[in-house]
Structure 1
Amino acid sequence: MATGLESNMTWLNKKLKADQNFDVVYRVIHVGGKNACIYFIDGFCKDELMQKLLQQFMGITAEDMPKDAHEMAKSFVPYVEVDLKDSWEEILYSLMSGVFALFVDGFDKCILIDSRTYPSRGVEEPEKDKVLRGSKDGFVETIVFNTALIRRRIRSTELVMEMMHAGKSSKTDIVLCYMDNRVDHAFLEKIRDRIKHIQVDALTMNQESLAECLYDRKWYNPFPKFKFTERPDTASAQVLEGNIIILVDNSPSVLIMPTSIFDVVEEADDYYFPPITGTYLRLSRFIIAVLTYLMTPTFLLLMKNPDLIPRGFEFIMVRDTVNIPLFWQFLILELAIDGLRLAAVNTPNMLSTPLSVMAALVLGEFSVNSGWFNSEVMLYMAFVAIANYTQSSYELGYALKFMRILNLILTAVFGIWGYVGGIILCILFMFTNRTVSNQSYVYPLFPFNAKQLAKRLFRLRLPGALDPVREEKK
């Protein structure tokens, strides 16, 4: 950066393409008898604040005019977030992020005033991570608001919010959030180093793009390597447990790492209810997850081998005429359910109710009466489709779906040996999966730790919870 205002403006106007970009605004003013110029991005700065700052700058007399940018920032910039930069790279990054820039003729540094404000929606409960009881706030697309929601819950000096950037063009803001006295510093340094060496043009899909850059091993393993949440209370709890959460600008979700299969299954409702209720909810999710995987392959196996049906369960046999093999019925319905899910996402709200009724009729009564599907197949697939929503993680739901389809194929081709082989493959996928910190994905099941496993399966009392009766006796 030069000291002459004219040369700085010439270089900056060319770099910013000020004559082409309508939202790049600059204005030449007089400050204390010197020429000065302000630069900002329209839509990022607060108009009322800018007006007051301009009044302050234009009111400076030649006698009071400081000799350098440092003195001016101290004496004549009535704002909290002020910085001085002389590097064009840092100035351009700040300016394109929405920071107000002031250049004064003869000053060798630019005065940066962080008066930006981003368009954002209100803090409200996320659509996906809803709870029956508990706080109703959620993360938004503005990273500063998200860090404030965590700071509000953890008022400790050990809480660290470390800012980083990634993407040559996007220069996306990334925040590493952790407790300095609880985090694994070796793992933290590993994550920090990976983010520094990300060689991408932009994090187009925000946290998903970042996740793919951080974990590049065994892409074929469908089980989730990260846990995503839009709830500040869940994120804060993970930070207090010594984990790292990563916040990405423009994303209402945060990444939690390291993450095991038990972390993915956990939900906030487990802790917003008494221990016995929380334990029931958690165990229910585990059992339902197993059932969603085994339901249709087991039914297909029993239909192919009626002699395996236990006594008293003969009623599960298909009584109607089977026009299409059961295996193909299951595959068609697996695809149809995803089609309905995609249609529901893209359906306008005013049409969602009539289309839901139409889909229920077509895929329900009409599809059975027409002979395409058998009622038993429809029943089991309906259970699987609904049970998938007991998991808060989309990734885990689709992982179970892929494993279920693989088991269906193996069972249809190889019978009982294919069924057993499919289960073994699913277990191998889970046991060979590794977290980002290269730890076991199924710990504390393997390596086995009975005490930690009990904590994972059962919702115990919070550590340090006092027994009032015992306290009175003391």
Structure 2
Amino acid sequence: MRKKEEEREKLKHTKIGGSREENAGYMNQILPVQESFDLVKRDLLIGGRMATFYFIDGFTKDEVMLKVMDSMMKIKEEEMPADAQQFTRIGVPYVEVEVLEDFDAVIRNLLSGVTCLFIDGYEGCIAIDCRTYPARGVDEPAKDKSLRGSRDGFVETIVFNTALMRRRIRDPHLVMEMKEVGDSSRTDVAVCYMSDRVDRELLLNVKRRIGEIRADDLRMNQQSLAECLFRRKWYNPFPKFKYTERPDTAAACLLEGKIVILVDNSPSAMILPTSIFDVIEEANDYYFPTLTNLYLKTARGLITLMTVFLTPVFLLFVQNPRWIPEVFDFVMVKGEVNIPIIFQLLMLEIAIDGLRLAAMSTPTMLSTPLSVIAGLVMGEFSVQSGWFNSEVMLYMAFVAVANYTQPNFELGYALKFMRLELLILTALLNWIGFAAGFVIVVLSICFNKTLSGRNYLNVKLN
């Protein structure tokens, strides 16, 4: 990594001279022009001077470059401007054009898809940004759907994502700062915020942390950036950031004064700061009236609590049947218990994850019938065979379905780990273990420090 930094510093201090041959020779030393088929070098005669184009095949809009080159070829020798800056104003009929002065900027722009032009006698490189990236349509995300909201979603191209938010917020206070992270990947990272509403202390902290990142690459895009920004404690599984694939949700968060971070090649936005109330929100919460919104949030919160405590409380009552009032006597296991309840619950926890992983790896046209078959086999015949009791299957089925009411996938697994911890402690230590597990869950939430310096309950931590 230190070698890469030294090479970059050397490129920054190497200025572009007026000799096209020397500039092209230096570029040929740095870039594998002969080895890489998609790295194209093109020599032309413009206004009586030799010129060299460098561009990446597949990133350049052929129609645009054809018109630009046609305009350049019409320039006569006596009409050639004196320097590169004048040439951009007279000879390049295009919007996004600038003159680069050092080779580090040239290499960075070229490998990003910008066409670079060296003309003999001109100091500097003319960068023509007529690039285009392969991109899919802005379809609605498969996970984060809305009943009444817009039907567009983020894609893997960062410029498209910023445009989707800019379309919704036509305010001059909307700022989108572009950063670069990774010595090898040099990934584009956009920090978006409303300058008149953002928490300035948090904004400076985020920008400082991004500037201090010393990583070779962001190979996993947004997740790699998240790990570099805030290293989590392995024993606390709760997520530190909120993610969304919907531009309307990201725009609403911007208007609330939050910071949105976009990473190139990632179809989602990272939102800061984060609390437990932000993480359990979903897109529908923004589109319904206040009363409906309040009911949905309350129902989602209660179901979230039940996913954590339902099976541990059931296990606690099974171990202490004298605690159950007669009116709730029906919750007791009526059939013969061949396998201890705790092992049944743990086996079903793993089996549910196995079904989920199988559904993710199964082709779409087969996933539904296979899921139905697997559910019937596990539900009906596993009870008849004596492996599981019907009460255990019922409660685990509720937990499995209730997990999908949680819009955040990472939070769902954090709650699952808390539930497993409660189950094991309850099985080992009875009510003392349940109380200890409950305290651990509360402390994990209260002391889950996020990037803003606050915990999940939005309380400032030292």
Aligned partner of 2:282 in structure 1 is 267
Aligned partner of 1:466 in structure 2 is none
Structure 1 segment 60-459 matched on structure 2, within 5 A: 60-443=75-458
Distance 1:36 1:405 in 2: 67
How far is 1:358 from its partner?
2.2
How far is 1:375 from its partner?
1.1
Distance 2:395 2:372 in 1: 20
How far is 1:295 from its partner?
0.7
- One-letter amino acid matched to 1:392: P
How far is 1:253 from its partner?
0.6
8 Å CA contact retained: 2:355, 2:371:
no
- One-letter amino acid matched to 1:443: N
Q: Deviations over 1:111-164 (max 9, x none)?
A: 001000000011111111101111111111111111111111111111100000
- One-letter amino acid matched to 1:174: V
| Residues 1:443 and 1:194: Cα distance change in structure 2 (over 3 Å) | closer
Percent identical across equivalent pairs? 57
Task: Give the aligned CA root-mean-square deviation in angstroms.
Answer: 1.2
Q: Deviations over 1:280-321 (max 9, x none)?
A: 111000000000001110111111110111221111111212
Aligned partner of 1:459 in structure 2 is none
How far is 1:2 from its partner?
2.5
1:58 matched to 2:73? The reply is yes
The DSSP-based 3-state class of the residue aligned with 1:218 is coil
The DSSP-based 3-state class of the residue aligned with 1:161 is strand
Greater mean alpha carbon deviation, residues 344-353 or residues 276-285: 344-353
How far is 1:190 from its partner?
1.0
The DSSP-based 3-state class of the residue aligned with 1:137 is coil
- One-letter amino acid matched to 2:415: L
- One-letter amino acid matched to 1:361: L
The DSSP-based 3-state class of the residue aligned with 2:52 is strand
The DSSP-based 3-state class of the residue aligned with 2:178 is strand
Distance 1:60 1:322 in 2: 91
Residue correspondences, number: 446
How far is 1:354 from its partner?
2.7
Distance 2:357 2:214 in 1: 32
How far is 1:33 from its partner?
0.3
- One-letter amino acid matched to 2:380: E
Aligned partner of 1:455 in structure 2 is none
Distance 1:247 1:47 in 2: 28
The DSSP-based 3-state class of the residue aligned with 2:42 is strand
The DSSP-based 3-state class of the residue aligned with 1:438 is coil
How far is 1:26 from its partner?
1.1
Q: Which runs of 5+ in 1 are unaligned?
A: 448-474
Distance 1:413 1:121 in 2: 52
> Structure 1: which 4+ aligned runs deviate by more than 2 Å?
217-220
Q: Which runs of 5+ in 2 are unaligned?
A: 1-15
How far is 1:6 from its partner?
1.4
Distance 1:357 1:58 in 2: 66
Distance 1:340 1:198 in 2: 38
Aligned partner of 2:34 in structure 1 is 19
Distance 1:440 1:353 in 2: 40
